[in-house]
Amino acid sequence: MGSSNIKLVILDRDGVINYDSADFIKNPDEWQPLPGSMEAIANLNQAGFRVVVATNQSGIGRGLFDMSALNAMHEKMYKLLAQAGGRVDALFFCPHTADADCNCRKPKTGLFQEISQRFGVRLAGVPGIGDSLRDLQAIAQMGGRPILVLTGKGERTQEAGDLPPGTLVFNNLREAANFLINEQH
């Protein structure tokens, strides 16, 4: 696990890439991208970042939707991304409910450990963008850079405070992406 030249950025899904819902996003019709999110991912790709999605999807464990519905949502995301000239290199999800006590449900780091293994890189310094505290906690535990966006649950997360030290805050994914892209120059 050397420090290779792969530039990763890890994104939460609901509330970061697409609109979130208190009733869960259960099918492709309910999966609607947030304004500018597809372009933000494409811009990251063009700047040399590999974009990875890490998402808790406990609706599966709760029986609210099944794997074919989740796959259909992601097909829609990939299609819209392709139209914008972007792509996601990998997608990792936790299907379990909170009481399953798995290691993959954020704020635990199982999904992030899988990402680290898949790409053969440490996540130290890797940006992790999310709208909830558990997204930020998970990336911070891996030594990455927590970035909060104020879409989805983001404003409530910011108001609740207790963010990991050094958390950066942006209005949305496009602003966060622009910051990361400009920072390299």
Active-site positions? 12, 14
- Distances, alpha carbon 19 to alpha carbons 41, 113, 156, in Å: 16, 26, 15
| Token code pair at residue 31 | 């999966």
In whole angstroms, give the CA distance from residue 34 to residue 177. Answer: 14
In whole angstroms, give the CA distance from residue 80 to residue 86. Answer: 8
> 58 Cβ partners below 8 Å, 6+ apart?
94, 95, 96, 97, 98, 105
